[in-house]
Amino acid sequence: MSRQVRVRVAPSPTGDPHVGTAYIALFNALFAMMHQGVFILRIEDTDQARSRPQYEKAIFDAMHWCGLSWDEGPDVGGPCGPYRQSERKEIYQRHCHQLVERGHAYPCFATAEELEEMRMIARAQGKWVGYNRRDRNLSKEEVQRRVTAGEPHVIRLKVPLEGECSFVDGVRGEVSFQWSEVDDQVLLKSDGMPTYHLANVVDDHLMDISHVIRGEEWISSTPKHLCLYQAFGWEPPQFIHMPLILSPNGQKLSKRKNPTSIFYYRDMGYVPEALMNFLSLMGYTMSTQEEVYSWDAIARDFSLERVGRSSARFDSQKLDWLNQQHLMHDLSHEELWQRIKEWALDDETMKKLMPLVATRITKFSDFIPSVAFLLSGDLTYTDADLAVKGLSPKQVACLLYAFMYALEQEEAWDKDGFDRLSRSTAAQYGVHHRKQVMPLLFTVITGSKKSIPLFASINFLGKDRARARMKNAIDALGGLTQKEERAVQESLCQGTTPAFWEAHTSEKQRGEKSTSSQLRGETPQRYTQKQT
């Protein structure tokens, strides 16, 4: 391999670091080590509405906790910087305008409403759903007139209209797509910011990336990227698409259904060696067929020939077993105690706990029982624990899901957010905040009807564990179907309740709900669903 191996992982700082990021970073790092190459961390923060500095810091912290380090990146520098896409805006704009000048891209003036109308017509006619390319062949004069007039527009890539795109994937071999099934991708948005596709290709070229190792979900985007490489006259990298990680039921991993944050697993007391061991098993089979191994062992063994093609399911029971193996066989008793202290029994943690328990214990032996729920993993709930007077189990599950979804929409996982949104959710569903909602939340979060302050407990647990407990409680109540979850989300945006809520409401409850809402005079809050 004459060309130096240079690989990258490029997470977006729009939320908590995802286990999928660690999964892809792991295999990029292994590949770089295998070839004495360079591993780069790049921050893809072109989504200015959702990107946050604290999320970028969280990426660094999470990757370091996983045992990963990189040769180039925003925090360590390097010869190909800057490594934040938000700092490379002019680079993307310059390259995009080159494509327009060469006839490989064009301004598109279609509005969001017009695009939706195109999709509706295409669906009704049973045709391929995408942009109908109406502005693809506008004259230079017409384009200039509309640009000068200040019409908002994006820049789209001119994708071939016929033939096929074929490329060799490092895992799957030859892959082909019909160009007729590939949309004229937006490259530059109306605000001048690049889309993922343009920024990705430009950065990979300028940073001399030799191999793009990413998730299988990006296979369908590869033709667009190869089209861009050809339009620029650049040599494309080798593409390697890793198998997907799915939830236990075979669906996409979702934070509302499965804990996906790396910090969740850190805070639950998993060791990073076990988590990385587990993630490697999602896409790789050791030549020895063993399942418990160290980072050094897989680094010595690694070969693309043993990367899987089939999606793997995130089996938390397997992760538990692996973690136990690492605790039993990798750590001495002294090291185990040191790790436990670092996990939750250090001075910083105790400083947070003391104000919560100082006035609630009468002797030292009360301390452990009073804080056990804060240091525990998942809680177990009985039907009686989650029973709310006047509500069916389905309604309680609906109420919890609505509250959890509202917290996520506003990213309000703190004391103020819990207080405000629990009140708003209670008002929307016509239930009593103090008598029905608060006791339920106490039980879900603490495992008891009474405990140390609820909101302080939530701050201590953090959103990942708090969300997991709400999700587990919803499951204990019988859960909600995907259709019911979507109905809850839509109803929150509309300030109403979903139809299935009313289907579980008795005539007596309807009368009580109407009366209580009038007495409180509360107005339900509406939520604007995030666009992803």
Tens digit of each residue's pLDDT (9 = 90 or more) over 460-517 = 998 899 999 999 999 999 999 989 999 999 998 888 899 888 887 654 455 554 444 4
Question: Do 101 and 221 lie in a common domain?
Answer: yes
Residue 12 has pLDDT above 90, yes or no: yes
Per-residue b or e along 16-52, where b marks 16 or more CB atoms closer than 10 Å to that residue's CB: bbbbbbbbbbbbbbbbbbeeebbbbbbbbbbbeeebe
Which pLDDT value is given to residue 524? 55
Q: Among residues 158, 224, 255, 513, which one is catalytic? A: 255
Q: Which of 13-17, 95-99, 424-428, 521-525 has the lowest mean pLDDT?
A: 521-525
Question: Do 16 and 153 lie in a common domain?
Answer: no
Question: Do 416 and 296 lie in a common domain?
Answer: no
Question: Do 113 and 16 lie in a common domain?
Answer: no
Which pLDDT value is given to residue 505? 67
Q: Please report, as a single letter, which amino acid is at residue 193.
A: M
Question: Do 250 and 231 lie in a common domain?
Answer: no
Question: Do 403 and 505 lie in a common domain?
Answer: yes
Which pLDDT value is given to residue 515? 45
pLDDT band at 315 (very low <50, low <70, confident <90, very high): very high
* 255 catalytic residue (yes or no): yes
Average pLDDT (385-393) is 94
Question: Do 208 and 290 lie in a common domain?
Answer: no
pLDDT band at 449 (very low <50, low <70, confident <90, very high): confident
pLDDT single digits (tens) 94-104: 999 999 999 99
pLDDT single digits (tens) 153-166: 999 999 999 999 99
Print the domain residue range for 455: 393-520
Contacts 24+ apart (CB under 8 A), 414-421: 414/458, 414/459, 415/455, 415/456, 415/458, 415/459, 418/454, 418/455, 418/458, 419/455, 421/525
Cα gap 169→222, rounded to integer Å:
10
Average pLDDT (381-394) is 93
Which pLDDT value is given to residue 522? 47
Question: Do 22 and 92 lie in a common domain?
Answer: no
Which pLDDT value is given to residue 411? 86
Domain count, the chain: 3
pLDDT single digits (tens) 120-144: 888 888 877 778 899 999 999 999 9
Does residue 383 belong to any structural domain of this protein? no
Contact assessment for residue 64 and residue 31, using Cβ atoms and an 8 Å cutoff: no
Question: Do 225 and 292 lie in a common domain?
Answer: no
Output the domain CATH number for residue 479.
1.10.10.350
Mean pLDDT of the chain: 91
Output the domain CATH number for residue 11.
3.40.50.620
Among candidate residues 213, 242, 271, the one where a domain is terminated: 242
Average pLDDT (111-118) is 89
Question: Do 26 and 66 lie in a common domain?
Answer: yes
